[in-house]
Structure formats: structure tokens, C-alpha cells
Amino acid sequence: MSGAKIRGNVLIVDDEETVGIGMSEMLKDAGFHAVYVTNGAEAVREAQKSQYSLVFMDMVMPGMNGLETFRDIKKVGS
């Protein structure tokens, strides 16, 4: 989408690569800037680097689960 306006920044957090990659590619095709990470710790680091309009997150992940990750991301935005 060269020259097209980006519609928003979306972060996808899922430990299943097929889900995360598929979702990020669909969003990119729709004009969004989509970033995919595979775990909660990566999601928190990404939230510290950039602002996201929307986060799609798996709730059941090894290590930090979705709720823990959500709470840590929310602290970044405070």
C-alpha cells in the first residue's frame, strides 16, 4: 500500500504463529500497521516503544498470560 494512509497501529499477541501471522497479514492488507509478537514480555516491550490503537491478545499463553500482559501494558500507557 505505497502512499496510502495507515489506518492505525495494531499489536497482535499470540503464541500460535499461524494465528498471529495470519491476522497481521490480513490487517496489513486492510491498511493497518500491524506488529505481531509471540508472548507477553515481547508485547510489553513493544508497547513501551510504540503506541497502539488496538491490541488483539491470546489470553492463554505460556509465561505471562493475557491478563498479566494486559495489566503490564496498561501501566505503560499510564
pLDDT above 70 for 78: no
Average pLDDT score over residue span 67-78: 90
Write down all domains in the chain, each with its CATH number in brackets.
Answer: 9-77 (3.40.50.2300)
1-37 pLDDT tens trace:
456 688 999 999 999 999 999 999 999 999 999 999 9
* Separation of alpha carbons 56 and 44, rounded Å: 13
| 46-56 pLDDT tens trace | 999 999 999 99
Radius of gyration of the chain (CA): 12
